[in-house]
């Protein structure tokens, strides 16, 4: 998500240099990229570079959608995660991440799993 935000900010900044501005928000980037592709006042080379940014942005979006789908599928299968998601402000993604960060059940109280052989 950090990469997508950084790329969106870069796109917004570069577009502003050509007089194309948009409101803040991740959902405003795709319409801005469409404008950069069709605005005749933007030089051809700049439009080509914006097209590269658009391609990278779309690839990041697809990757994030895949990760989110896998995370939600894991969440639906995990009872503890589903219970955590019922806490106001937590939600399924936060609950899943909390469950993934906790120590395994078979580890000791100190978080060390000792096996005596």
User: Does residue 32 fall inside a structural domain?
Assistant: yes
pLDDT tens-digit map of 31-44:
999 999 999 999 99
Split into its structural domains, the chain has a count of: 1
User: Does residue 115 fall inside a structural domain?
Assistant: no
CA distances from 98 to 38, 67, 82, 89, 101 (A): 44, 16, 11, 13, 5
| List of residues 6+ apart from 64 with CB closer than 8 A | 1, 4
Residue 108: predicted pLDDT: 55
Q: Is residue 17 over pLDDT 60?
A: yes
Task: Give the residue numbers spanning the domain of 68.
Answer: 2-101
| Global pTM value | 0.67
User: Does residue 10 fall inside a structural domain?
Assistant: yes
User: Does residue 62 fall inside a structural domain?
Assistant: yes
User: Does residue 59 fall inside a structural domain?
Assistant: yes
User: Does residue 33 fall inside a structural domain?
Assistant: yes
pLDDT tens-digit map of 31-79:
999 999 999 999 999 999 999 999 999 999 999 999 999 988 988 998 8
Q: Is residue 26 over pLDDT 60?
A: yes
User: Does residue 22 fall inside a structural domain?
Assistant: yes
Average pLDDT over residues 69-95: 89
User: Does residue 112 fall inside a structural domain?
Assistant: no
């Amino acid at each position: 998500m950090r990469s997508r935000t950084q790329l969106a900010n870069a796109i917004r900044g570069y577009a502003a240099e050509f007089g194309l501005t948009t409101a803040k928000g991740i959902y405003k980037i795709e319409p801005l990229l469409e404008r950069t592709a069709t605005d005749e006042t933007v030089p051809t080379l700049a439009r080509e570079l914006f097209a590269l940014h658009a391609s990278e942005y779309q690839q990041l979006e697809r990757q994030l959608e895949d990760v989110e789908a896998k995370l939600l599928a894991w969440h639906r299968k995990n009872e503890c995660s589903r219970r955590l998601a019922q806490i106001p402000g937590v939600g399924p993604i936060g609950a899943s991440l909390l469950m993934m960060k906790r120590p395994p059940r078979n580890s000791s109280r100190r978080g060390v799993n000792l096996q005596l052989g």
